[in-house]
Amino acid sequence: MIIEQIKKLLGHRYEALNRLEISRTSLRKNYRYLTSLNHKIKVAPVLKSNGYGHGLVEVAKILDPLNPPFFCVDSIYEAYKLLKAGVKSKILIMGYINPKNLAVKPLPFSYVAYDQEQLKEIMRYQPEAGVHIFVDTGMHREGIVLSNFPDFIKSIPKEGLKNIEGIMSHFASADQPERIETKQQVKDFKKAILILEKNNIFPKWRHIANSSGLLNNWVLGLDKASNLARCGIALYGIDPAGEDEQLKPTIKFITHIAQLKKLEKDDKVGYDLTYTAKWPSLMAVLPLGYNDGVDRKLSNKGRVCVNKTVCPIIGRVSMNITTIDVTRVKNVRVGTEAEIDFLMPIPDKIPYESLVHLNPEIKRVVV
């Protein structure tokens, strides 16, 4: 990581201008809360995409002592990174893997199989690995179509049946549990489980639900078909429906004021001069922008907190610079900390995007 290389060059005296604070307490509270929603449903934390921007290894090390059934990642790269970091929990790789990478050496991971060819490659190169079979119950992305599922099961060699440790699917609209399509997905998932059982296959894990699916379990009745949910966004303190106040934010984006400048009435600020000062004011320059994860759509709309005072973003958010109005802030100076509200609602943008677009090179600090 660049931060570590800089420390080697400059010594431990190096102070990062920007940092992301990851709350150990909030992350663990969210996990415990999610596991308490239904005693029949375990929770597997989803750590893909750099732990939803929080830091892959940082999140894993916080949750590892809580003994989750396994961590969900997208790639063999993410899984190997956790392995090298000393993570003890099991790891399920949910994304596609190039067979050449499977062939290198035996690895202690479980894999998701979407079709016959992928299952064949997993069993060929990783014969001891656990496999979770993915059934397409209606989202129509990856997975085995339900009508083809019986033939798929019959094609599995007898010696490979012992490897099947899970059956899974994924909701298209779990945040809309009353939709006919959502309810039909639950029904089709149950049908897939019955097909397995008719072939004397009884996998340990059955999972279709994401965060919204678990939070809406009371409508969907998932515990009758599932014993596990894969939770990502809720784990990080966000209910997609915005209704669950038990979930707590797990991340703060901290920067430092790099310059202060007085503005006169009618002074214009930033690219395209989109902001005009209505009266004499004090502006602060922050050393971060859309390269770091501050969305450009926050230009003239976003908020930053300085010394407990909410300050508006003024002018365009640039690649590495954001400017704010700090006129009302007491005791403000160069070096004063500022917290970016990078998760404020933006039209046509979901919180997932804001989190995963946080620059992976920004220093993550567990607090």
364: part of which helix (H) or strand (E)?
strand 363-366
Strand-pairing partners, residue 323, are 285
For the CA atoms of 360, 76, 72, 26, the dihedral, rounded to the nearest 10 degrees, stands at -30
Is 278 annotated in the active site?
no
Q: CB of 175 within 8 A of CB of 233?
A: no
| CA dihedral sign of residues 215, 220, 222, 223 | positive
Q: How far apart are CA 197 and CA 194, in angstroms?
A: 5
Strand-pairing partners, residue 364, are 20
Q: Which of 31, 48, 114, 290 is catalytic?
A: 48
Q: How far apart are CA 103 and CA 92, in angstroms?
A: 18
Is 48 annotated in the active site?
yes
Q: In angstroms, what CA-CA distances link 83 with 22, 73, 108, 309?
A: 21, 12, 9, 43
Strand-pairing partners, residue 110, are 92
Q: Which of 261, 265, 271, 349 is catalytic?
A: 271
Residues designated as active site? 48, 271
